[in-house]
Amino acid sequence: MGKALEDVRILDFTHVQSGPTCTQLLAWFGADVIKVERAGAGDITREQLRDIPEADSLYFTMLNHNKRSITIDTKHPEGKLVLEELIQSCDVLVENFAPGALDRMGFTWERIQELNPRMIVASVKGFGPGPYEDCKVYENVAQCVGGAASTTGFDDGPPVVTGAQIGDSGTGLHLALGIVTALYQRKSTGRGQHVLAAMQDGVLNLCRVKLRDQQRLERTGVMKEYPQHPNGTFGEAVPRAGNASGGGQPGWILKCKGWETDPNAYIYFIAQAPVWAKICNVIGREEWTTDPDYATPAARLPHLKDIFAEVERWTMTKTKFEAMAILNKYDIPCGPILSMKEIAEEPSLRKTGTIVEVDHPVRGKYLTVGNPIKLSDSPTEVTRSPLLGEHTDEVMAELGYTADQIAHLRTVGAI
């Protein structure tokens, strides 16, 4: 079976996490992704957080599957010529260098357009145009400036960053959508364009509901579904909501059997209005279905803490999986808090290719997260990440270089 993006060639100038997430996804959809790295060094993550000496780190391998690696010194005059040929033969250039780095290399938007007017240039930057556009940005900085940190954590504690890499991987996903959209538009215009995904914007997009709440707070002065209601106070800005649900159905994390020793013996429980009567039955509080203080969603809002405490008395008598099985029988939305160990060992995730075991010539077998997006006509086969410069000769030969020319470029340090 063919692949959705099999005609697309990508010049992958990305490093660390945000850019590589994007190009890995495009590679999984079938694009030929050629990763350009510096000889002798490569993407800095090859050696970061190493768990096996001399082997590419899991940080690198898990973000660079299905790609080819070519080494080029893009500041060497002869290296620049190779890069120019690659620009002429590719459809998309993806980069997440610090602001201005591509220009300093001599590859401005104008120069790239001169070389290949059909080229789509896609960039991740920390910030969009404005006062901070020249700043370098990493994941947690993006979470802080995009509204995630100020709205995560508990009201009586400091801002908290989340383990979900919404700044890096989240922005990589946004960029991938921008690239595919630009490729689609190129079909009618014949022209490339610049695609920018700023990490601050990507995080803010994922925190959209909090800007919703900011405006609700300004209008009404209170947010009745937040744990601060009815006993706490609200300030000028959306407060941290603990584990409250971001949607219209109240939810909270509750202890389950074994919580005293197992840090993940918890379940997320949603007091969804349509199944309120079933909830009352399951926990043995049938009278709440008719009690005017509990019978309607609005009446329940000031009592959410009591309600969750009562449900927790029930969940503490069950393991998280027992509670999940019982609650789902009654269509009551909930979810066990799964540890990474439990997720890694979950057979159904292996079956769908969401967790994949990959073999690597230096590190041996390891687990990775496969393509979370499943296309019925473009199935993903996850292949290992490339060794540094593994495909330099192959790609150079495709560009028409002879073995002697390749040897010369290697001798002068251009590749």
Alpha-carbon gap, residue 22 to 37, rounded angstroms: 17
Closest approach, Cβ 44 to ligand CAO, in A, equals: 6
Q: How far is the CB of 110 from ligand CAO (least distance, A)?
A: 18
| Minimum separation from the CB atom of position 88 to ligand CAO (A) | 18
**Are 97 and 36 spatial neighbours (Cβ–Cβ below 8 Å)?**
no
Show the binding pattern over residues 127-166: x = contacts ligand CAO (CB under 6 A), - = does not.
Answer: ---------xxxx---------------------------
Does 45 help bind ligand CAO (rule: CB under 6 A)?
A: no
Chosen residue from 3, 11, 12, 18 binding ligand CAO by CB under 6 A? 18
Q: Which helix (H) or strand (E) holds 306?
A: helix 304-315
Number of shown-chain residues binding ligand CAO (CB under 6 A): 25
* Ramachandran sector of residue 242 (left: φ over 0; alpha: ψ -120 to 50; beta: rest): left
H or E element: which one contains 102? helix 101-104
Phi, psi of 64 (to 5 degrees): -135, 30
Judged by DSSP in three states, 137 sits in coil
**Residue nearer to ligand CAO on the CB measure, 73 or 91:** 73
Which H or E element spans position 406?
Answer: helix 403-411
Please choose, out of 107-115, 118-126, 223-231, 339-347, the segment that lies near ligand CAO by the rule CB under 6 A.
118-126
Residue the block writes with tokens 């969009």: 128
35, 65, 67, 125: which one binds ligand CAO (CB under 6 A):
125
Distance CA 266, CA 263 (A): 8
The C-alpha torsion from 104 through 74 and 199 to 131, rounded to 10°, is -10
Assess whether 12 carries a catalytic annotation.
no
Binders of ligand CAO among residues 86 to 105 (CB under 6 A) are 96-98, 101, 104-105
Instruction: Choose one: 121-129, 203-211, 267-275, 379-387; the region binding ligand CAO (CB under 6 A).
Output: 121-129
**Tokens 């997720």 belong to residue:** 343
Please report how close the Cβ of residue 170 comes to ligand CAO at its closest, in angstroms: 11
Residues that bind ligand CAO (CB under 6 A): 16-19, 36-38, 72-75, 96-98, 101, 104-105, 124-126, 136-139, 168
Q: Which residues does the annotation mark as catalytic?
A: 168
